Chains A and B, each alone.
Chain A
Amino acid sequence: MLCKKFEEKIVDLIFGEVGEEEEKQLLSHIENCEKCRNKYNEIKMIIEESKKIEVPVFTSEWWDEKKEVILERVPQGRKNFRIKKKVVFSLVSLLFIFSLSIFFFINHNENIAKKKGTTYYTFNVLSSTTISSPDSILPFSEDEILKMADYMKDSDAEEVLKIILK
């Protein structure tokens, strides 16, 4: 067995996480390799000594007192948390439904207006547009087109007027 392969398995060997056959191979390797044997002994010692480092121990009564503090904290926190969650969820849902309704309402009105050639509102609610005739595909009124014609060349303006008069 190569030392590198052994190194990968040192920790598993210390924690007894290797199979019987593999354990035999690993132990036979450290018998013959001093470098790996030293490394194994040192790591094993560090892990074993670390386990001996103590942690303060408390009595059952002391833990029970702490539990009471936890339980006292919880109900109010839980209630607030639930209320907050519910309120936020309801508000977000309402906002979503409201936005969807507005979107469909405007779209629906636009379609109807386009078909009928009447006034409809765009997303910019403040501006409205009048469609001159049911067959028109232009989203401008005759007056608006005539105003625009003031800024066109005479030849172009005539063309546009012909289209409108048709």
Chain B
Amino acid sequence: MEKKEKFDKFYREYREKLYSVAFRMVGNQEDAIDIVQESFTKAFQKWDSFRGEAKFYTWIYRIVINLSYDYIRRRKKIKTGEIEENVVRIKEKIESDKMVILKDIKKEIQKEIENLTPKQKSIFILKTYEELPYKEIARIVKSKEGTVKATYFQTVEKLRRNLKNKGVLKNVMQEI
């Protein structure tokens, strides 16, 4: 099989997965597409250096995660003022309502995920959506397996605590 054909197969297999990770990391389509394109460009350039595909897919996931960190950092710089304003507004809303009753829990979870640190976010995404083993995630984020496992639990706990504080979980659990 020729290099181009092999790349084509790899591209078809991973394009949606990588896009999904990038989109969940940065939260918008345009940046996610840029990240995926850049990652695949780098992948094609480095194609000859990687013989084992398992190692290669870990590597390309790492590229997507690192590029996402860059995009988040850049966006943070631009929008710092804007975000601060929103935070004030959200706080005011919570204080006045005390308990936010929301029908769409997915939206609330999504908001909370957006507020995670880039590292927590990447580990949460790779485990929850991609269902990768901790060992693989540790290779992608260049960390230890135990640290990744602990971070995932801390992240889920953080989401649970925040949703509970907003009163979202209480309402949902009562419905269940």
Interface string of A17-60 (1 = CB under 8 A from B): 00000000000000000000011011101110111110111100
| B149 contacts across to A, CB distance below 8 A | 11
Pick from A42, A55, A67, A77: contact of B169, CB below 8 A: A42
Interface residues on A, range: 20 to 34
| B19 contacts across to A, CB distance below 8 A | 55, 58
Asked whether A38 and B8 contact (CB < 8 A) given A43-B160, A55-B24, the answer is: no
The verdict on A81 contacting chain B, using a C-beta distance below 8 Å, is yes
Q: Which 6 A-B pairs have the closest CB atoms?
A: A55-B20, A74-B44, A70-B40, A55-B23, A73-B41, A70-B41
The verdict on B94 contacting chain A, using a C-beta distance below 8 Å, is no
A67 touches B163 (CB 8 A): no
- How many Å from the CB of B104 to the closest CB on chain A? 10
Interface residues on B, range: 35 or more
The verdict on A71 contacting chain B, using a C-beta distance below 8 Å, is yes
A50 touches B128 (CB 8 A): yes
| B159 contacts across to A, CB distance below 8 A | 46
Measured CA separation A50–B113 after assembly (Å):
9
Asked whether A77 and B45 contact (CB < 8 A) given A11-B152, A51-B128, A56-B23, the answer is: yes
Q: Taking beta carbons and an 8 Å cutoff, which residues of B are in contact with A?
A: 4, 8, 11-12, 15-16, 19-20, 23-24, 29, 33, 36-37, 40-41, 44-45, 105-106, 109-110, 113, 124, 127-129, 131, 149, 152-153, 156-157, 159-160, 163-164, 169, 172-173, 176
| A50 contacts across to B, CB distance below 8 A | 106, 109, 113, 124, 128-129
Could you count the A-B residue pairs with CB atoms below 8 Å apart for me: how many are there? 84
| A46 contacts across to B, CB distance below 8 A | 109, 156, 159-160, 163
A69 touches B37 (CB 8 A): yes
A11 touches B156 (CB 8 A): yes
| B164 contacts across to A, CB distance below 8 A | 42
A74 touches B172 (CB 8 A): no
Q: Which chain A residue shows the least CB distance to B134?
A: A17
| B172 contacts across to A, CB distance below 8 A | 45
B23 touches A47 (CB 8 A): no
- How many Å from the CB of B15 to the closest CB on chain A? 5
Asked whether A74 and B23 contact (CB < 8 A) given A11-B156, A43-B156, the answer is: no
Q: Which chain B residue shows the least CB distance to A17?
A: B133
Can you identify 12 A-B contacts, CB atoms within 8 angstroms? A8-B153, A11-B153, A43-B156, A46-B156, A46-B159, A50-B109, A50-B129, A55-B19, A58-B19, A66-B36, A70-B41, A77-B41
- How many Å from the CB of A9 to the closest CB on chain B? 10
B128 touches A71 (CB 8 A): no
B110 touches A53 (CB 8 A): yes
